[in-house]
Amino acid sequence: MYSKYSMNKKVQLFDLGVVDYKEVWDTQEKLFKEILDLKIKNRRQGTEIETPNYFLYVEHPHVYTLGKSGDMENLLLNEKQLAEKGATFYKINRGGDITYHGPGQIVGYPILDLENFFTDIHKYLRLLEEAIILTMAEYGLSATRSEGETGVWLGVGTPFARKICAMGVRASRWVTMHGFAFNVNANLGYFDNIIPCGIKGKGVTSLNVELGVEEVNEAEVKEKVVKHFSSLFDAEISKGANLPLV
């Protein structure tokens, strides 16, 4: 009879640098499937092999992605205009609507077996948001959630409400993929080409804009986010040596 394997709260951290969106998406899918296959094997064979957890940091060249419940009308560019902007476009299998990824944006993809932590997707999203909120607080900024709108915001309840971090995830059998996109030194002009997350009448912002500086140290921001992620998830983070991309 299957008995639950011991909870593995170790998370391998990989910083992949600047990589094409599709290449990292395929890599996520590979890791996601490997964890799922191991869980299925554990259940079928009664084994207790620990499932791994990953956290991928990456920065993408200009790309727009549309979630499975998204509306194509929220992309305001045609194929020719996308090429002129040097951007690509993908329909993907996460939740949420349309978003943008590009230089100056920290993208985090936690690929976790939530059975190693807790089995609650709502809690998972709220803790991801909290990691960003706590990071913002270290820069003296009061970020928060906006009811019914996943992600991290500034100026909620005012005419100047603006999103600084978008989130969209996929989960199956408590295994997660996709994650968050935190604007740190982002070119906000690229958001003019979409209706971000399908939300009209609200803006987007970036950490450097909010701080009134030309550039924020992205490595420092990454360290702060991981620190808070580790604390909130009670996770043990270790840097992975090498992750072959698909």
CA distances from 103 to 107, 117, 221 (A): 10, 32, 15
pLDDT at 56 over 70: yes
More confident residue, 77 or 138: 138
Task: Report CA 94 to chain centroid distance, whole Å.
Answer: 10
pLDDT at 241 over 90: no
Give the contacts of 211 (CB within 8 A, at least 6 positions apart): 139, 141
pLDDT of residue 122: 96
Question: Which whole number is the average pLDDT over 10-31?
Answer: 97
Question: Percentage of the chain surpassing pLDDT 70?
Answer: 95
Strand duo 162-172 + 203-204: pairing: parallel
> How is residue 198 written in tokens?
């399908």
pLDDT of residue 5: 52
pLDDT at 196 over 70: no
CA triplet 9, 12, 14: central angle to 5 degrees? 155
pLDDT of residue 71: 87
Prediction pTM value: 0.93
Single-letter amino acid, residue 230: S
More confident residue, 47 or 55: 55
DSSP codes joined into one string, 52-106: P-EEEEEE-SSEEEE-TT--GGGB---HHHHHHTT-EEEE-SSSSSEEEE-TTEE
Nearest in space to 182 (alpha carbons), one of 144, 212, 222: 222
pLDDT of residue 3: 41
pLDDT at 1 over 50: no
pLDDT of residue 201: 65
Nearest in space to 115 (alpha carbons), one of 7, 221, 40, 215: 7
pLDDT digits (tens, 9 = 90+) for 59-114: 999 999 998 878 888 898 888 998 999 999 999 888 778 889 999 999 999 999 99
pLDDT of residue 95: 78
Which pairs with CB-CB distance under 8 Å and at least 24 residues apart come from 127-131?
127/229, 127/232, 127/233, 128/167, 128/179, 128/180, 128/229, 129/165, 129/167, 130/228, 130/232, 131/225, 131/228, 131/229, 131/232
Label residue 206 by pLDDT band (50, 70, 90). Answer: very high
Catalytic machinery residues: 197
Write phi, then psi, for 89 (nearest 5 degrees): -140, 140
pLDDT at 161 over 70: yes
How many Cβ atoms are within 10 Å of 45's Cβ, its own excluded?
10
- According to DSSP H, which parts of the chain are helical? 21-45, 79-84, 121-138, 207-211, 218-233
More confident residue, 203 or 139: 139
pLDDT at 231 over 70: yes
